[in-house]
Amino acid sequence: MFHKISVIGAGNVGATLAQRLAEKELAKFVALVDIVEGVPQGKALDMLEAGPVYGYDTRVMGSNSYDVIRNSDLVVITAGLPRKPGMSRDDLLDANTKIMTDVCQNIRREAPNATVIVVSNPLDAMCHVALQVTGFPHQRVFGMAGVLDTARFRTFIAEELDVSVEQVQAFVLGGHGDTMVPLVHYTTVAGIPLSKLLDAASIERIVDRTRKGGAEIVQYLKTGSAFYAPSASVTEMVESIVKDKKKILPCSVYLTGEYGINGLYVGVPVKLGKNGIEKVMEIELSDAERKQLNVSVEDVRQNVEKLKTLVTA
Ligand code: APR
């Protein structure tokens, strides 16, 4: 169990995440921070009061001040604006860069040894801001995207085949967006390659739905974006770190030559343990997958170019 995990942003993703972390007792203290007065305090107290019923002793604390995150072992950033219908994740770039810069200056001051997981969108670009502003080693600053994209892919495959989601193993690479690359090639159901179970057209349909998985939820909700599956995905990453499980999970990480990519955040499979990113797993890609990955990487590169004028560390 960690001593303290902090969640910045007490909105849909942040509050649901804090609840999941508390219920799993992944830290003695879970701190929730938001700029809206009363919201982190009220939600934290409500979660604390669920402890006796649900059977956890996690001390959930809420505040508008960053004192509460002091010396956190891990900080998850969910602060920022979510998408509205018709918006792409990239439309959030300007507003969320400003928020991310402010949040990361506070993390740098209060929790200099923390591992930082970024959730705010556009994810890969926000990871760059976090890396630059905190100045932390890149092994300790990474983003949640692939676990969520993979979870969506697994959900749709399981639904199509009417089998347990637990037996669907899949991987999604690339940026968190419409250019993500679901690796059909490495996808199996109880060890059976997906291509032996579904025809190419069905697989393509599922891949397309996965790419647009976030937008599908936004269309329904209208006033915000997904939060149950995103918070569950962060929880899996946090658990692998806290318990040093060394799970191999797709995360948005800063590449230094792996996959022929240098100095960019891209979603690839990594080993997650107590030291954060412990290893980037380089897997063989088909020519088509490599091409798709390059399109996705270009997308991230363009956002990072735009950032150069926005970030003031
Ligand atoms: N510091 C702290 N909290 C902030 C700040 C800030 N500078 N700016 C905004 N917030 C808070 C808001 O007050 C709000 O409570 O961030 C919270 C965001 O919550 P929601 O609007 O409910 O958004 P959510 O669905 O949780 O998504 C958050 O995660 O998945 C991504 O695209 C999504 O970027 C978005 C982020």
Atom 2 in ligand 1: which residue has the minimum CA distance?
Answer: 34
- For this structure, is 128 an active site residue? no
Could you say which of 3, 128, 138, 176 is catalytic?
176
Question: Which of 36, 76, 78 is the pocket-test mutation for ligand 1 (most atoms within 8 Å of CB)?
Answer: 78
159-188 pLDDT, tens digit per residue, is 999 999 999 999 889 877 677 888 998 999
What DSSP designation does 83 have? P
Provide DSSP, 163-228: --GGGEE--EES-SSTT-EE-GGG-EETTEEGGGTS-HHHHHHHHHHHHTHHHHHHHHHSSS---H
Kindly state if the Cβ of 182 falls inside 6 Å of ligand 1. Answer: no
Give the ligand 1 atom nearest the CA of 120. 34
Q: How many CB atoms lie within 10 A of CB 9?
A: 26
Q: Which atom of ligand 1 is nearest to the CA of 92?
A: 34
What is the second-level CATH architecture of the domain 2-143? 3-Layer(aba) Sandwich (3.40)
CA of 108 to the centre of ligand 1 (A): 19
- What's the pLDDT score for residue 91? 81
- Between the CA of 82 and the centroid of ligand 1 the distance, in Å, is 7
Question: Would you kindly state where each structural domain of the chain is located, as residue ranges?
Answer: 2-143, 146-307
In three-state secondary structure terms, 56 is coil
pLDDT digit string (tens) for 212-243? 999 999 999 999 899 999 999 999 999 999 99
Q: Please tell me the CATH code under which domain 146-307 is placed.
A: 3.90.110.10
Q: Hey, which residues does 251 pair with through a beta bridge?
A: 268
Residues of the chain with pLDDT under 50: 313
- Please report the pLDDT score of residue 37 as a whole number: 97
